[in-house]
Amino acid sequence: MNDDAPIAIIGAGPAGLIAADILSAAGKRVVVVERMPSVARKFLMAGRGGLNLTHSEPFAQFMTRYHEAQTQLQPILEAFTPNDLIAWVNGLGQDTFIGSSGRVFPKAMKASPLLRALLRRLSSQGIEIRTGQTWLGWTEDGALRFANGEPPLRAAATLLALGGASWPRLGSDGLWRSVLEERGVDVIAFTPSNVGFNVGWTPLLRDRFAGQPLKTIALRHNDREVRGEVMITEYGVEGGAIYALSSELRTAAPTTIHIDLRPALSQNDIAQKLARAKRGDTLSSTLRKTLGLSPLAIALLHESGPPREPHALAAHIKAVPIHLIAARTLDRAISSAGGVSWDAVDENLQLKGLANTYVAGEMLDWDAPTGGYLLQASFATGVHAARAILRRSGANR
């Protein structure tokens, strides 16, 4: 490794920026190159909803959220755990807290204070950040090549942290795929992850209830059940409970999910309450008075023609069917599945066919729901690659 040349990081999202922090803290000269006019745009957008950094659940359970990539990600996440991420955030002067759901947030509940603190530290450590430069690959003699006549950059090592293919207007457009494939790197086709699904709502439900949440429900698909919240939208459904199952739902669609509107009550308990309802009340009035169902929940029941007999109605309330037509498109997804195949990288996340070139973040082929899992793996893979670069250069941290 040429110590006179800088370490280049292409992409200024969570994976790239935490790698820059680790490398520069170890005394390495680092140049971060970002295609967009400013850094971490997708990170800032994610922070508008509270910036769920990671999750506090037991680690064994935490790992199951990564599905097929669990085996590859486990040693990476064991080396940079949720507690390590919390400590890193706290070290930037940003306090965190654990919410009632076990998710971990910065107390500021926004991404911008954390990003500003990180950028201040990177500046103090001598990081150079170049924005508005699009990476195109390599020159014939191995230097990094950029668009619009920008001069090539010769790097001692390169970390690619260009993101996946969701939210392209924020910078993650996946166009790097062709560059790597030309070099023989196996890249799995992108598919939408953490994405909503189209539903053929009636005009009444769509026009009156779009933008409203179904809270404290249980969602079932085949033998899997998750609890949380489903948001009704003009086009269909989205929200945490949907995202938790989006990996299997997008594969199965068109398919039917079932919503349990009162998961804390048994079917028999609901039937008994309904049987004691006042005679002469409308069905909507009965559901509101006996079970405390919201207008949205009642409207959702009416979508599928609920029976009136108490036991049959109770069964329906415990399993309201919603037919999912198809997943929304990739540009509407929070994240993407697919990317650089795990077979294309070694245990250090170095591309097997490209020496001194590493990959981190959503560029890798892994899939996880929201709830802190996305950011945790992005940060952890950035740390893993940075530490590997340091080991190769003879510096340890």
Domains of the chain: 7-193+331-393 (3.50.50.60), 197-327 (no CATH)
- pLDDT the model gives residue 3: 62
**Model confidence over 91-106: pLDDT tens digits?**
999 999 999 889 999 9
Contact present, 53 and 86 (Cβ < 8 Å): yes
End-to-end CA distance of the chain: 17
- pLDDT the model gives residue 310: 94
Above 60 in pLDDT, residue 157?
Answer: yes
Backbone angles phi, psi at 251, to 5 degrees: -75, -35
- pLDDT the model gives residue 281: 87
For 337, counting Cβ atoms within 10 Å of its Cβ (0-12 exposed, 13-18 middle, 19+ buried), the class is buried
Q: Is the preceding omega at residue 58 within 30 degrees of 0, hence cis?
A: no
Q: What percent of the chain has pLDDT over 70?
A: 98
**Model confidence over 30-52: pLDDT tens digits?**
999 999 999 999 999 987 778 99
Q: What is the pTM of this model?
A: 0.92
Averaged pLDDT, 302-317? 94
Strand residues in 267-319 grouped as ranges (E): none
**Model confidence over 327-357: pLDDT tens digits?**
999 988 999 999 999 999 999 999 998 999 9
Above 70 in pLDDT, residue 221?
Answer: yes
Averaged pLDDT, 179-197? 96
Q: How confident is the model at residue 397 (pLDDT cuts 50, 70, 90)?
A: very low
- pLDDT the model gives residue 20: 98
Q: Which of 323, 326, 285 is nearest to 304 (CA)?
A: 323
Give the helix/strand (H/E) hosting 245.
none
Q: Which of 382, 283, 284 is nearest to 84 (CA)?
A: 382
Averaged pLDDT, 170-185? 95
Q: How confident is the model at residue 359 (pLDDT cuts 50, 70, 90)?
A: very high
- pLDDT the model gives residue 274: 94
Above 60 in pLDDT, residue 392?
Answer: yes
CA torsion sign, 193 to 360 to 372 to 39? Answer: negative
Q: How confident is the model at residue 296 (pLDDT cuts 50, 70, 90)?
A: very high
Averaged pLDDT, 64-68? 92
Q: What is the mean pLDDT of the chain?
A: 95
In our burial notation (b when 16+ CB lie closer than 10 A, e otherwise), range 47-79 reads beeebbbbbbbeeeebbebbeebeebbeebbee
- pLDDT the model gives residue 167: 86
Averaged pLDDT, 65-71? 94
CA Rg value for the chain? 24
Averaged pLDDT, 260-269? 97
